[in-house]
Amino acid sequence: MNTKSELVNLMNKLRRYPGTKPFSSDQKGIFFGRSEDIAGLAELVNIEQLTVLYSKSGLGKSSLINAGVLPKLEKEDRLIPYSLRFGAYTPNNTTSPLSITTQTIGYSGETKLLDKIIPKDNSLWYHLKSDQIAKQEKRGYLLIFDQFEELFTYPEAQIAAFGKQLAELLYTTIPERFRKVVESEIWEKGNQSFLSEQDQKDLHKPLKIKILMAIRSDRMSLMNRLKDHLPHVLKNCYELLPLSVEQAEDAILIPAFLKDSKFESPPFDYDYPSIAKVLDFLTDGDKQDIASFQLQILCEYLEKKVIDQQLRLIQEHHLGDIKNLFKNYYDDQIATLGNHEEQLAARKLLEEALIFEEEERRLTLYEGIILKSHGMTPELLRKLLDSRLLRSERSTQGEGYNYEISHDSLVAPILKSKEKRIATEEQNRQIEEEKGKLEEERQRLLAEERERQKHLEIEKKKKKRNRRLAMVGFVLSAISIVMSIWALSAQNNAKKLQLKAESALENLARSEEIRRSENFERFRTSAQDKMNAGDYAIAQEALEAAMSFTIIQKDKNTIQALLMANQDLWDSKLAFDAAIKAGEIAEVEGKDLEALNLYTKAKGQARRDQDNQMAEAKIALIKKELEPKFNKLINNAQVYDKIGACDLVRKELRQANQIRKYLNESQLNKDVLKAIQKLKCN
């Protein structure tokens, strides 16, 4: 069992490959393959005021800056670096590119000189100039804007304001508004003591400003929107090209070789076939460029195998199905997060809240909004960070963090997974809807059955009432006769009343006969339909209902015959199902002959074409498997015959003869039959 200190030590261990996250400055010791780009970009930054780094997404611009150029410039100690990200604009965003930059570089100390001229100017020039004066700083300042394409998601007015101040910072020693105040105080008002000699030296000392902007190649055209204020913004550009095969080998192999106890994995190596397969995969057989992002995910996956399996050499079989690695990366990481509800909350956050789908662009969300509005807990958010699907940066507001998807290259797989999820949800919705319809139909049939029972009860009551009416009719007739004796004058009226009563009874009897005939026919037809469909239980109920509506003996005979036929079919179906089930059990237990007999028995019980076809299919399958068993038994008998083990020979022949009964002679191999005849023990 690990002690608490051992667990803490394990948690502090480092990985050799960062996976989806860009390299950070403290990972410079494992950043390889980009030495020429580090030197070239650092040199350009030192020479030029404004440099634009551009490349396709996924080639490692952020990593080059963080783990390559920044450590080199910090070592030279000629520039003070500030790294910034704007994050993508959202409608409820209360910050602007200018405010984000100001908060990052903001000087919080005393600024007596500048505040004496224009108090709290709050411009970019004001903050860096204040720092220079207060610290008597001799070094220059480097502003690094990563993911610079995010600037152009903000309103045009905010972009213009940012461009204007950036131009002032780059190209102005003293802004015009400061110069005018100084000239007014000294020359117009004659206040010669307004600035001391040291103040004037500090004010006129130039700011050494360097700016590095990193942007995706497919967003380079957006830079033209800054040309009103920065006309030469695209003059000094550095293109980060895809890794060459040699660079990729360095990026893969050198981190694996490093010997240092800070790593979670032991040092390991790749054999030639495995490294060749990795490079072939990354280049798609020399048909595509190598993306640093994909390389790091693959290496992270392999390092995990090294840790889990305690490997020291990666061989080709350890690679597994790497072709599906990126396709499944997102889904695999989501699957590790916990229960279904947590996984769904994580999916909806990444797929719906952190991507602007129309442009396939990442969005940034503040931690508080995520926890409040997206069903996330701090623990689940931490798991997402650990999975490297998300990355975080401290909020420019000073408290909490902003979160975004860790890399542009994940956007497409996430959207594809979203499409699959929505399709699955729609399919499940349709299934649930169909279940609801089936339940409604079941309830409807139950209601019809209750109504039928109710109708039968009513019919019984009607029969009873009709008998009473008949008795009443007879009584009325008797009364009519009696009355004719006592009141001869009313004889004609009595006869008329009798005729009416008899007519009513005849009409009632005729109506009852028609109704019974209709019900009889309806239930008889329903019963035959159910019999044809093999639903013998419901057919039995329908036939019993039809019997209750029979009038003539012929109909009764018909129903009796159908009841017997239905019972026969029902019994046959039960016997068929039992034989099939027993045959399947025998087949699972390896008792093929017993299974064959049972399937043959089932065929004899089959009354419907589909049952007959099922039994024949199972018989054919068993017989197909019996022939090789027959041949094997004969081969065994030949072996036993050679060594004179006649008891074993006869045993094998007995089993073979049992099988032979079920095989057509045409199926049997003639050589095998000849072998039987040649047996000495036969």
pLDDT tens sequence across 452-495: 788 877 877 777 777 776 666 666 666 666 565 665 555 565 56
Residue type at 453?
A: Q
What pLDDT is recorded for position 392?
A: 72
Which residue, among 149, 156, 117, has the nearest Cα to 133 in the 3D structure? Answer: 117
Could you report the per-residue pLDDT of 551-573, keeping only the tens digit for each?
A: 788 888 888 888 888 888 888 88
Of all residues in the chain, the percent with pLDDT exceeding 70 is 90
* SS3 state of residue 116: helix
Backbone angles phi, psi at 281, to 5 degrees: -65, -45
User: Any idea which of 51-60, 174-183, 539-548 has the lowest mean pLDDT?
Assistant: 539-548
What pLDDT is recorded for position 5?
A: 46
In the predicted model, is pLDDT for residue 42 greater than 80?
A: yes
Matching residue, tokens 């008792």: 591
Q: Give residue 619's pLDDT band: very low, low, confident or very high (50, 70, 90).
A: confident
What pLDDT is recorded for position 501?
A: 56
As a whole number of angstroms, the distance between CA 384 and CA 387 comes to 5
Those residues whose C-beta lies under 8 Å from the C-beta of residue 616, and which sit 6 or more positions away, are 603
In the predicted model, is pLDDT for residue 10 greater than 60?
A: no
Q: How far is CA 643 from CA 629, 673, 679, in A?
A: 22, 20, 11
Cβ–Cβ under 8 Å, residues 387 and 332: no
Q: What is the mean pLDDT of residues 300-307?
A: 92
Cβ–Cβ under 8 Å, residues 580 and 618: yes
Per-range mean pLDDT, top range of 311-325, 486-500, 584-598? 311-325
What pLDDT is recorded for position 340?
A: 86
What pLDDT is recorded for position 47?
A: 95
What pLDDT is recorded for position 496?
A: 66
Q: What is the mean pLDDT of residues 498-510?
A: 66
In the predicted model, is pLDDT for residue 604 greater than 70?
A: yes
Q: Give residue 633's pLDDT band: very low, low, confident or very high (50, 70, 90).
A: confident
Of all residues in the chain, the percent with pLDDT exceeding 90 is 33
How confident is the prediction for the chain on average, in pLDDT?
84
What pLDDT is recorded for position 3?
A: 46
What pLDDT is recorded for position 244?
A: 92
In the predicted model, is pLDDT for residue 9 greater than 60?
A: no
Could you report the per-residue pLDDT of 119-173, keeping only the tens digit for each?
A: 988 899 999 999 999 999 999 999 999 999 999 989 999 999 999 999 999 999 9
pTM value is 0.56
As a whole number of angstroms, the distance between CA 284 and CA 291 comes to 11
Residue type at 288?
A: Q
What pLDDT is recorded for position 555?
A: 81
Q: Give residue 409's pLDDT band: very low, low, confident or very high (50, 70, 90).
A: low
In the predicted model, is pLDDT for residue 8 greater than 50?
A: no
In the predicted model, is pLDDT for residue 241 greater than 50?
A: yes
**What is the DSSP pairing of strand 401-405 with strand 365-366?**
antiparallel
